[in-house]
Amino acid sequence: MNEVYKDKLEILRQRIPIGLRHGLTLLESLDGDLEKAEVKFREEMVAIIISKTGVTADVAIKHLTKSNFDIAATIKNIDEERYTFTELVLRKFKDKKEDALDKIAYAIEEKYNLKREFWLNFNTLKELPSELYCLMAIWEWLNYESWEDYESALSFNLDIVTDQIKNKLGLTELANSVKQAKDIRTLIYTQYRIDKGIKDYVAASNEVQRHEEYKKCENVYVTQRPILIDRLYELVKNNIDKFP
């Protein structure tokens, strides 16, 4: 280290949170002028924030000061000030739509104080704005399907979910195929009279899994699930002012 500027560098670092190399470079370029070095550092930091966020210099210096000139923290604070939670999530997880939807659904659950006994009560969801209701109903059903399985999910608030899939998201084929799968399952379970015991229940379930039309319906779901995720994401994106 240049001994000429060693003491001045220590003083400069007491004034501003600057790295050793950066501080020394500034002092050397400004003939050891502490005041000019401090001003130059602040100007550099402001320029970086403006280039990354597009805010004014006043806004940049306000948040830089608040964040002790930590660039990452400054950008985070600026974004939190000018974007809603949902906007931030969509910006951060634009290539991970399921992660984005999951975080937004949780935010809705928190904001509206939705109570759950492991699964949400769909009757309480009806009080939400229609766009939020659509997301929460379908997302809860998708989570149920992932936790249990497709066949079990056919008995989990399916009429509500398929109505939203068809009428709110325009996925008629998907909605109809899921309802058809439920009808096939109901018919088979009725024939086996599963109320008689677990043996009949297992036999009925096995019969459902072997049913050709049922397998076609399940394949439609597997094929169109990514489209369903895309439609939910677009629902949020196109109605962003309705979300937290």
Mean pLDDT calculated for residue range 187-204: 77
Whether this model's pTM surpasses 0.75: no
Check residues 140 and 23 and name the one with the higher pLDDT.
Answer: 140
Instruction: Give the pLDDT confidence of 71-85 residue by residue, as tens digits.
Output: 998 888 877 777 899
52 — pLDDT class (breaks 50, 70, 90) = confident
CB neighbour list of residue 103: distance below 8 Å, 6 or more residues apart: 89, 93
On the 0-12 / 13-18 / 19+ scale of CB atoms within 10 A, 48 is: middle
- The mean pLDDT value of the chain amounts to 90
Domain spans of the chain, in order of start: 3-82, 85-242
The letter for the amino acid at 148 is: E
Distance CA 49, CA 60 (A): 6
163 — pLDDT class (breaks 50, 70, 90) = very high
Distance CA 64, CA 2 (A): 29
Mean pLDDT calculated for residue range 170-174: 97
- For residue 149, the SS3 value is coil
Which of 41-55, 126-140, 152-166 has the least mean pLDDT?
41-55
Mean pLDDT calculated for residue range 101-105: 97
Question: Roughly what angle, to the nearest 10 degrees, separates helices 97-111 and 212-238?
Answer: 70
pLDDT for res 196: 62
